[in-house]
Structure formats: C-alpha cells, structure tokens
Amino acid sequence: MTIHSLRAQRPSAGSHADVLYVHGSTFGAGLSIFYPLDGRSWADALNDAGFTAWGFDFAGYGDSARYPVDSCRAVGRLEEAVPQLLRVIRAVRERNGGRPVFLLGHSWGATVAAACAAAHPDGIAALVLFAPIVTRAGATRPAGAYIPAAAAAMSAPSHYPLTLWAQYRRFVEDVPRGQPQVFSEAHFQAWGEAFLATDPESRSRTPPAVSTPVGPQRDVQALWSGQELYDPARIAAPTLLVRGEWDTVCDADDAASLLADLGAAARHSAVIERATHLMHLEAQRGLLYDAVNTFLLGSAS
C-alpha cells in the first residue's frame, strides 16, 4: 500500500531532532499531531521546543491509499503496519540531514512504534509511548471499552463503520461522574466534521461513518487475550511511557507491567491528571506536551 501523507512541520530556528508521530487506530496525523485546538497544535509545541514534527497516515487512513473494502481479511494489522513505519522512517532520514529520529506513538500506534523499536533497536534514538495498548493475560474488555461494538462484532470483514457517536463516547466514558468534560462540545463539533471529511463516502452511510481498517482492533483483541505481539525486552532506546489518570485502556497496571518488561536502561513514566485515552486532544493536553518535550530535550542533549 502507498503512503501519501508524510508531512513535516519545522521550527523557525535549527532543529535538535526529528519527532515522528505514529497515530492510533481510529484517526490519522491530521486529526492529532497537526490538528490545531484554540489555534495551536501538538506540532506547534514540538516546534517551539526545537524539534521538527513529522506525521503520516497508515494505509487506510487520512490521505493514504485505501485497502480494498471487499477484502475478506482484517487489513492493517501489526505485520503490515511495521513495514509501513519503517518505510516512513527511511523517508525521514533521507530528508533530515542526519538528525536523530524519535518515535512518538499513541495507543495502537504506540504498539506499532514499540514493535518497530524492538525489531530495530539501533535505529530509534528515543521512544515515547502514550496510552499504549499492553498485553493483558486473559483480560476481559474493561469499562471504557476501546473496541467499538461494530468492530467487535465483525469476525472477518476488512473494515468497520466508525460513527461520530462512537468517537464521542471515547471522550466521555472514562470521565468520572461530576467532573467537567475533557473535550468541549465546540471542539468536538469541529473535530467531528474534520473526522467525517477524511472519508468522502462517510455521509452516504446512515448514520454518517468513516470506513476504518479492522486489523488494529484485532491486534488489540490479541493483546487483551494475552498474546505478545512483540518483545519489549528488545527495546533499547530511552523510553517515556505517559498515560492519563482516568484512562482505562492503558491503566496503572498496564503501565507498570510494560515499564518492567522494557529492555531500555532509561525508562521514565508520567501520569497526566484528569486525562483519558485521548489526552492529546483534551483540556490537559498542554501537560502532555510539556512532559514529552522535557523527555525529548533530555534525549537530544
């Protein structure tokens, strides 16, 4: 599959290093690292710290090529995603003048980034895993279920329809009763329109929905059934694991388990208060940006 959407946003002065964002399973880089909220994106924060921010869309997302919708297999699983990420890393290195490359992965994208770092331990200068999906031995799906019902019910098809309501639930279901929303209605309305616009056929469905590769959800199901999809002991790069206080998809036990299994000598963790699985778009996103920048600046020095 062809990846069309590799994009860089560079600081006005010189760059310390290049940070490559690896998106999660339901929306791409344009709706995450490059998406401005109140006029400012995560890429802007990285630029302000002196980094070049890179992002791309895996096949099946955003501006990249789509898998055939009539496929009878779960497209976009880890074994397809890792080679795509490796091609993107090579493309970044061809353009960045020899600067270090750091990986910054979210959710299922953190699993892809970790698997890549494990398979190529000398190729990544630093690794940030935020809200990673972690192996759970025989776990049942938790409250705040990550896998949309439409995907969980599909045993063979390549794609599933992801509605705005399903996305909205992900922003609200982990927030404790009585706490304010972490993603404002106004922000969600604008972001939701941008989400639907990533699929030109989204509004032909009832309700409107984005056709989304089912493979990543199968990876999550495998991890939560106790399967090891990569060996974290092979990860040598300095690693930061950061999660939201209210995240049930990557909870405190998940974070502790993965940190203990990492092979990296330099292992760091951070918890963002009053944040959930999608904290890069939430009210506390500035704390996430600061934690990541501090770690990356230390890795670049």
Highest mean pLDDT among 34-38, 94-98, 137-141: 34-38
Calculate the alpha carbon distances from 94 to 55, 145, 283, 293 in Å.
Answer: 15, 40, 36, 24
Distinct helix (H) and strand (E) counts, the chain: 9, 9
Contact 235, 262 (CB under 8 A): yes
DSSP conformation class of 197: H
Q: How far apart are CA 277 and CA 108, in angstroms?
A: 11
Q: Are 151 and 217 in contact (CB under 8 A)?
A: yes
Please, which pLDDT band fits residue 13 given cuts at 50, 70 and 90?
Answer: confident
Query: Helical H runs in the chain?
Result: 42-48, 78-95, 108-119, 149-152, 164-172, 185-197, 215-223, 252-261, 285-300
Looking at every residue in the chain, the average pLDDT score rounds to 92
User: Which region among 99-103, 147-151, 264-268 has the lowest average model confidence (pLDDT)?
Assistant: 147-151
What token pair was written down for 276? 């959930």
DSSP for 129-164? EES-----TTPPPPSS-SS-HHHHT-SS-SEEEEEH
Q: How confident is the model at residue 97 (pLDDT cuts 50, 70, 90)?
A: confident
Domains of the chain: 7-300 (3.40.50.1820)
**pLDDT recorded at residue 3:** 62
Residue 145 has pLDDT above 50, yes or no: no
Contact 137, 162 (CB under 8 A): no
Average the pLDDT over 18-38 and give the result.
Answer: 97
Helix axes 215-223, 108-119, angle to 10 degrees: 80
pLDDT tens digits, residue range 243-286? 999 999 999 999 999 999 999 999 999 999 999 999 999 999 99
Strands 51-55 and 209-213, by their bridges, are unpaired
Distance between CA atoms of residues 106 and 279, nearest Å: 10
pLDDT band at 121 (very low <50, low <70, confident <90, very high): confident
193 in Cβ contact with 53 (< 8 Å): no
